[in-house]
Amino acid sequence: MSAVTKPVSDAEFSISVLESKEPVLVDFWAEWCGPCRVIAPALEELGGEYAGKLSIAKVNIDENPMTPTKFGVRGIPTLILFKDGKAAATHVGAAPKSVLKAFIDKNL
């Protein structure tokens, strides 16, 4: 992980995501998930491109089971865009960077 994407735990989720002043795109992932690893570089790049407008957080579902359960995450990768403390949009599954960028632009 880099400074662009920030790992967030169940304990930190409320402060880091729900109380954030800017929108936060949360990537629910796991080490064993191939598609999660495939989209990770695109999320890093998008994190840099949207710096100051959007934060990207990563929640490892194996280490932090409470948060994905609370938000109904059933498959990974799942991306949830949070705005003003609420889940505003969800994208499930791996996708190319262009699709992820379009998802962000449509919902930001």
Amino acid occupying residue 1: M
Q: What's the chain's average pLDDT? A: 95
Which tens digits make up the pLDDT trace of 56-73? Answer: 999 999 999 999 999 999
Which residues are catalytic, by number? 33, 36
pLDDT band at 24 (very low <50, low <70, confident <90, very high): very high
57 forms bridges with which residues in the sheet? Answer: 6, 26
Q: Which amino acid would we find at residue 16?
A: S
Q: What is the pTM of this model?
A: 0.95
Sign of CA dihedral 37, 38, 39, 45: positive
48 vs 1, higher pLDDT: 48
Question: What is the reported pLDDT for 3?
Answer: 55
Burial class, 94, CB count within 10 angstroms (exposed 0-12 / middle 13-18 / buried 19+): middle
